[in-house]
Structure 1
Amino acid sequence: MNRGQKEGIKEQIKGWTDTAIGAVTGSEERKVKGDVEITNGANQKDYGDQKDNIDKGVEDPGEPTNQ
């Protein structure tokens, strides 16, 4: 697992936490912040997946799912 994947997962966890806290407290701002963090984390992880695929020599490294 490379740094991009780790950072992406970490950002997604922050997002899930913020979304849950926002839902419990009724804070729309916190829920939206969490949604943004989830999306940013997923994008970061996909980028890390693509770099990992390139290192593995996958023919289509643009496919973010690791093979």
Structure 2
Amino acid sequence: MNKDQREGIKEELKGFVNKGVGSITGNEGRKAKGEAQITTGDNRKELGDQTDNIEKGKVDPGNPSNL
């Protein structure tokens, strides 16, 4: 697991926490921040997956079936 994959997962987890707390407390700003963090984390994790596939020599690194 490379750095982008780890950081992406951490960002997603922070997003899930913020979204949950925002939903419970009715804080729409925190809920929106959590949703943004989830998206950002997912994108960074995807970057890490593709980088990992490139290092492994996959023909189509963006194809999820290569995992």
Deviation per residue, 1:4-47 (Å, 9 max, x gap): 00000000000000000001100000000000000000000000
For normalisation by structure 2, the TM-score amounts to: 0.94
For normalisation by structure 1, the TM-score amounts to: 0.94
Name the structure 2 match of 1:11. Answer: 11
CA RMSD of aligned residues (A): 1.2
Structure 2 gaps of 5+ residues are none
Runs of 4+ in 1 over 4 A off after TM superposition: none
**What is the CA-CA distance between 1:62 and the residue it aligns to?**
1.8
Instruction: Work out the number of aligned pairs and report it.
Output: 67
CA–CA distance in structure 2, aligned partners of residues 62 and 10 of structure 1: 22
